[in-house]
Amino acid sequence: MNEKILLLEQVLLPLYKEKEKELLFHGWHHVSFVKKKGGEFARSINANDFLVESAALVHDLNYLVAPNSLPEVGRRLRQEKLSDAGYSKEEVDRIEKIVIEEHMATRSALISDEGKALSDADTLFKALPTTPILFAGKYIQENQIDIAKLANKICDEQNRLLESGIYFYTDMAKQKYLSWAEANLKLWNNVQDALLDKDVQEMLATAKSAGVI
């Protein structure tokens, strides 16, 4: 592994350890997964895996600054920690561009190969069949929102990506994981519909008043 990446991990791990009880969704389990898969996707399209893996390690630092925040909120912290790990200004600037361009809410077809690889890895974590079961509630808790806001966010952001053919960019991600992504998004579309059903609303209100949810 590249020495700068190793040093960056050493710089970041204490921050994530300190915040592990707060970063229930965007913690080190997420970051390390995105780094691993981002590198694989990068190599599959001959993108710069050093930049992708570095960007993966810092792409969610905004959540250490403020919950439910945009990537731009973490810019200063990213610059600081990358510099601490010996990254040049040129590398820091390039990594920042990758982080911003891969953001799910705003990404398009016109992003760099490095952005595509990072996006596929980050998106894959959200599309894993285990994520709605194990981590959806953690996202709600971490970001201080409710299930309706999460369902609306997922459907608003991800339906357009699937319809546009850029849910995943790399052939590797599409071939191995697109069926998971389609099933996951169908689930969240159903959740969004269910939350509009009066009987479901009544049941959820009863569960909430009983302290079940």
Residues 6+ apart with CB under 8 A from 123: 104, 161, 167, 168, 173, 181
φ, ψ of residue 105 to 5 degrees: the values are -70, -25
Percent over 70 (pLDDT), the chain: 100
CA 95 to CA 100: how far, in whole Å? 9
The interaxial angle of helices 171-194 and 28-44, nearest 10 deg, is 140
Confidence of residue 47 (pLDDT cuts 50, 70, 90): very high
Q: How far is CA 80 from CA 43, 74, 153, in A?
A: 27, 10, 30
pLDDT at 1 over 90: no
CA 118 to CA 116: how far, in whole Å? 6
| pLDDT of res. 120 | 98
- Let me know: does 162 contact 182? Beta carbons within 8 Å: yes
| pLDDT of res. 211 | 94
- Let me know: does 104 contact 168? Beta carbons within 8 Å: no
Q: Is 152 exposed, middle or buried (0-12, 13-18, 19+ CB in 10 A)?
A: middle
- Let me know: does 78 contact 98? Beta carbons within 8 Å: no
Cα dihedral sign, 139-143-146-148? negative
Query: Residue 138: helix, strand or coil by DSSP?
Result: helix
CA 107 to CA 115: how far, in whole Å? 9
| pLDDT of res. 207 | 96
**What's the half-sphere exposure (Cβ side, CA atoms, 13 Å) at 141?**
14
Q: How far is CA 137 from CA 6, 53, 71, 102, 186, in A?
A: 31, 27, 22, 24, 18
Average pLDDT of the residues of the chain: 97
User: Per-residue pLDDT tens for 120-153?
Assistant: 999 999 999 999 999 999 999 999 999 999 999 9
Which CATH code of 3.30.420.10, 3.30.465.10, 1.10.287.1770, 1.10.3210.10 fits the domain covering 3-209?
1.10.3210.10
pLDDT at 17 over 90: yes
Q: How far is CA 85 from CA 12, 40, 66, in A?
A: 9, 23, 23
User: Per-residue pLDDT tens for 73-109?
Assistant: 999 999 999 999 999 999 999 999 999 999 999 999 9
